[in-house]
Amino acid sequence: MGRIEELDRAAAAASDSTPEAAAEALATIDWLIAAIDADRADGLFSRWGQATAVDARTGEALVPQPLFEALHERAALKATWPIGNAGLLQTYASLLSHTAADRNRERWLGTDLATGLGLDRAHFVPWEGSGTLLARATHAASVLLASGGEFSWYSLAEGRATRAVLSHEHDGSRALAYAVAPAPGTSPLLVALLPVAQAEPIRRDLDDAASRLRWNAA
């Protein structure tokens, strides 16, 4: 069975089940469980803020609630549906997405994000190379935020500091990193790392209305 088929089978088995059954389905994917366990041991989830598992535009859930709960339980993270750890949702939950939101999975399996960051085209494919997907995403987002990219925005949203950085273009692709402080007076935590096909709409939106949370930040 291929890796994607393995993800799809586990996601389907967990879609209309209990958190316990979802955890059993999740446990069938050895490499995914090993990655979550490694990230938990390395404290990587603490570098990410909070996000919602429900798409703000469509109202569609990224993953079913039982799978959301099973993932957070495995990562030893407290969460109340639909608000959870952005790193967990951005990476492993998106890999298990069994809905139209599968475009979130494509950011890791495709080439646009890696290309936009000037990295090897297969850099984020979870079962290729070394290190977990979350480790690679955390490092890439942190480097982009620190670099300032080609365009950078600071603003307050609900009294919380936010930061967005758009990378320089690489072979027709760009990437965006986004971070939000969990509370006023605290430092921003990672929330999103995204490929960007068209820079101008992103720039206009951030220039014109920078005082709201974006990209499912919570």
pLDDT of the residue at 208: 75
pLDDT of the residue at 160: 96
pLDDT of the residue at 84: 98
> What single letter denotes the amino acid at residue 50?
Q
- How far apart are the C-alpha atoms of 35 and 191, rounded to whole Å? 19
Domain coordinates of the chain in residue numbers?
3-208
Give one DSSP letter per residue of 2-36, joined into a string. Answer: -HHHHHHHHHHHHTTS-HHHHHHHHTT-HHHHHHH
For 144, counting Cβ atoms within 10 Å of its Cβ (0-12 exposed, 13-18 middle, 19+ buried), the class is: buried
Residue 87 contacts residue 95 (beta carbons within 8 Å): no
pLDDT of the residue at 36: 98
Helix, strand, coil % in the chain, rounded to nearest 5: 45, 20, 35
Question: pLDDT tens string for the chain (218 positions)?
Answer: 689 889 988 888 877 778 888 999 999 999 999 999 999 999 999 999 999 999 877 888 888 899 999 999 999 999 999 999 999 999 999 999 866 545 788 999 999 999 999 999 999 999 998 899 999 999 999 999 999 999 999 999 999 999 999 999 999 999 999 999 999 999 999 999 999 999 999 999 888 766 789 999 99
Reported pTM: 0.95
pLDDT of the residue at 55: 83
Residue 161 contacts residue 173 (beta carbons within 8 Å): no
pLDDT of the residue at 101: 46
Chain centroid, CA 183 distance in Å: 20
146: enclosing H helix or E strand:
helix 133-147
Q: Which two tokens stand for residue 154?
A: 């600071």
157: number of Cβ within 10 Å: 15
